[in-house]
Chains A and B, each alone.
Chain A
Amino acid sequence: GDSVTQMQGQVTLSEDDFLFINCTYSTTWYPTLFWYVQYPGEGPQLLLKVTTANNKGISRGFEATYDKGTTSFHLQKASVQESDSAVYYCVLGTTSGGNYKPTFGKGTSLVVHP
């Protein structure tokens, strides 16, 4: 079945540090790849998505490249801010038999200190 492996646990950074969150996926279908972000007390919300292999998604300074060769979709940001503190989820979206299913990674908690 479909699966997403994401760097778990907590990442602690200082403002202006570089962010890298690892994500790899496994599927037999042609996926759409997403990063969702969840702030405290909120539901997850879409950060960025990429539907085509080798394309890059960019949003709010975050970026991720759909690398079909390494089946990866790592999230990066050059300079984090305290307001980026949240939980980040790598998500794999696949369609099988006409049914669409999003599969979440286990989430990575980002804490940014001022």
Chain B
Amino acid sequence: GALVYQYPRRTICKSGTSMRMECQAVGFQATSVAWYRQSPQKTFELIALSTVNSAIKYEQNFTQEKFPISHPNLSFSSMTVLNAYLEDRGLYLCGALRGGDTEVFFGKGTRLTVV
């Protein structure tokens, strides 16, 4: 089956510091990876969509300078939250897609707490 692992599952960082989260696809080739942030109200915000060998496309209100993403191969992606502040709190979800497919396989998320 297609599985997506995210780590760490939870992390706490001090305001103004940075933290990196990782996403691993197992059992399939993740041609594209979508990074989302889920608010406490359960709303999803798409941060960016990354496709191997293509430019990473960031959504409005999210920038590479704040959320740099790496997608070096078909099984791994990482995203860093730089200079994290309270408004960056939430559950960060990685969704991976197989080439030509439309179903997104999600990990369980990395919960970021900023203190």
What residues of B have a CB within 8 angstroms of the CB of A43 in the complex?
4, 6, 93, 95, 106-109
Q: Does B51 contact A (CB under 8 A)?
A: yes
**Would you give the 0/1 interface string for B21-61, flagging 1 where the beta carbon is closer than 8 Å to chain A?**
00000000000101010000111101001010000010000
Given A99-B49, A99-B51, A100-B97, answer yes or no on A87-B109 (Cβ-Cβ < 8 Å).
no
Given A93-B102, A106-B43, answer yes or no on A42-B108 (Cβ-Cβ < 8 Å).
yes
Q: How far is the CB of B47 from chain A (nearest CB, A)?
A: 12
Q: How far is the CA of A34 from the CA of B6 in the complex (A)?
A: 23
Task: Determine, out of A21-29, A44-52, A54-62, A68-76, the stretch whose residues face the partner at the interface.
Answer: A44-52
Q: Which of B47-106 contact A (CB under 8 A)?
A: 49, 51, 57, 93, 95, 97, 102-104, 106
Interface size of B in residues (CB-CB distance below 8 Å): 23
Q: Cβ of A87 and Cβ of B4 under 8 Å apart?
A: no
What residues of A have a CB within 8 angstroms of the CB of B104 in the complex?
36, 44, 46, 102
Q: How far is the CB of A57 from chain B (nearest CB, A)?
A: 12
Q: Interface extent on A, as a size class? A: 20 to 34
Q: How far is the CA of A36 from the CA of B102 in the complex (A)?
A: 13
**Would you give the 0/1 interface string for A98-114, flagging 1 where the beta carbon is closer than 8 Å to chain B?**
01111110110100000
Q: Does A66 contact B (CB under 8 A)?
A: no
Q: How far is the CA of A89 from the CA of B43 in the complex (A)?
A: 9
What residues of A have a CB within 8 angstroms of the CB of B97 in the complex?
100
A100's contact among B4, B102, B106, B108, by CB below 8 Å, is which?
Answer: B102
Q: How far is the CA of A29 from the CA of B44 in the complex (A)?
A: 21
**Most chain-B Cβ atoms within 10 A of its Cβ — which of A32, A43, A51?**
A43
27 inter-chain pairs at a CB distance below 8 angstroms, sorted by A residue, are A32-B102, A36-B104, A41-B108, A43-B4, A43-B6, A43-B107, A43-B108, A43-B109, A44-B95, A44-B106, A45-B106, A46-B104, A49-B103, A99-B49, A100-B32, A100-B102, A101-B46, A102-B34, A102-B46, A103-B46, A104-B36, A104-B44, A106-B42, A106-B44, A107-B42, A107-B44, A109-B42
Residues of A participating in the B interface, judged by any CB pair closer than 8 Å: 32, 34, 36, 38, 41-46, 49, 51, 87, 89, 93, 99-104, 106-107, 109
